[in-house]
Amino acid sequence: MPSAETAKLLHAFSALADLGEEIASTRDFEQMVRTTLHVVLGALGLRRGAVAECDAAGGSLNFVAAWGMGEDAPEELPFDSRLLDEANRDATDPSHFYESHLKTTFRAELDRWQVSLVAPLVVREELVGVILLGGKATGEALSLDESDIVRTMARHIGIGIHNHRLLREIEARAEDNRKLYEDQRAIYHNTVRAFAAAIDCKDKYTQGHSQRVGKYSEVIAREMGWADEAVETIAIGGYLHDVGKLVVERDIINAPYRIDAKQSSELNRHPAAGYEILAPIHLTDAIIPIIAKYHHERIDGRGYPEGLTGDEIPLSAKIVSVADSFDAMTTNRTYKRRLEFPEVVADFRKNTGKQFAPEAVVALFRAILRELEGETRERTFSRLLGRDYLRRDECQPLVIELLAELEAGESAAVGST
């Protein structure tokens, strides 16, 4: 058995090791402080103690942990932040300055709590907290060596509190940044929606078209299992796909008859014009201008502006193309009434694999089917098409049949049947 002094020293060393482990732990702040208080008390056999953190604003010392204080456990001590300036002037030993000041200022409280040692927690000359200790179980006073051990531990605990405070500040700033990001995101989305509304205003017969294409594109992408961020991007692509119409003459867009070849050529400029408008803007994703450019391309290469085929067309553009055509079929235009749902199904049956990408068509009709069968809470199609447009008894068998054909890989053939 080691001598008494050696055994006490070993016990104190062991406590210092425990202290380092506790301070480095990721547990919550109050638990960390409570445990470190136990370490200090248990290292020297002290019966009571408390740890206070200096309020960030410098107005008070708030007690985080107390042990053995009974009903007298303190909660808060007023703290004059002007002390910090005084301590900095007396830079030779800020710790000593704080200790003297606290002992003098709070003499009555310290006597009542039977505190015999006040150890300020000082980091870079700044007071971050204080430890109050008292009542050695031996009944003796703390020796100078023991007081030095406490001050050594206090330096460690001060750093622990300081680090936790920094962590809290970083978390608060991260939260502020997150809120700022959310606000900016909302502003961005509102701006895009306003822009979409402005585009649609140019065509008095297709008001709400861009918003609906955005929504249908979102539904298709979500049905295809896309991540939230990608779904959000394609929705914006849908909102802005017709932005190029802003440079097309209003008379052509609003012509109450089928337009001639020259007018059609003018109208067909809008995808490339949309790309020219959007490309210089730093949108959230570079695909958005590309969607505007290629949403009139066809799988069979007969689309415009570049006549791309199959996989040359970006999937996002294929999705918006399906959404765009679905909305064109299901809304009244100047020169034609909207199609009934069986006619829409027939059109997609005919043109999937020619005009439309099968995977996007399948996703669109799967989403419709899930809404018909009541699997989704969000009634997107009923809301956008009108409650009576999709009648379950009539539409469900048609959709099931079309999906069966497309999913069996017959999409290339269905158009020719």
**Residues in touch with other proteins (CB under 8 A):** 1, 4, 7-8, 11, 14-15, 18, 31, 34-35, 37-48, 67-68, 70, 136-140
Nearest to other proteins of 8, 370 (CB atom) = 8
User: Least separation, in Å, of the C-beta of 21 and other proteins?
Assistant: 11
Nearest to other proteins of 42, 301 (CB atom) = 42
Nearest to other proteins of 21, 175 (CB atom) = 21
Using alpha carbons only, how large is the chain's radius of gyration in Å? Answer: 36
Of residues 53, 41, 100, 48, the one with CA closest to residue 72 = 48
User: Least separation, in Å, of the C-beta of 13 and other proteins?
Assistant: 10
Cβ atoms of residues 160 and 32 within 8 Å: yes
User: Least separation, in Å, of the C-beta of 4 and other proteins?
Assistant: 6
User: Least separation, in Å, of the C-beta of 41 and other proteins?
Assistant: 4
Let me know how long the chain is.
Answer: 417
Nearest to other proteins of 38, 193 (CB atom) = 38
User: Least separation, in Å, of the C-beta of 49 and other proteins?
Assistant: 9
Amino acid (one-letter) located at 80: D
Nearest to other proteins of 119, 372 (CB atom) = 119
**How far is the C-alpha of 73 from the C-alpha of 48, rounded, in Å?**
10
Cβ atoms of residues 67 and 49 within 8 Å: yes
Nearest to other proteins of 47, 333 (CB atom) = 47
User: Least separation, in Å, of the C-beta of 154 and other proteins?
Assistant: 15
SS3 content of the chain, % helix, strand, coil (to 5): 60, 10, 30
Amino acid (one-letter) located at 91: A
60: β partners: 78
Cβ atoms of residues 264 and 343 within 8 Å: no
User: Least separation, in Å, of the C-beta of 7 and other proteins?
Assistant: 6
Planar angle of CA 276, 279, 285, nearest 5 degrees: 145
Nearest to other proteins of 85, 140 (CB atom) = 140
**How far is the C-alpha of 35 from the C-alpha of 340, rounded, in Å?**
72
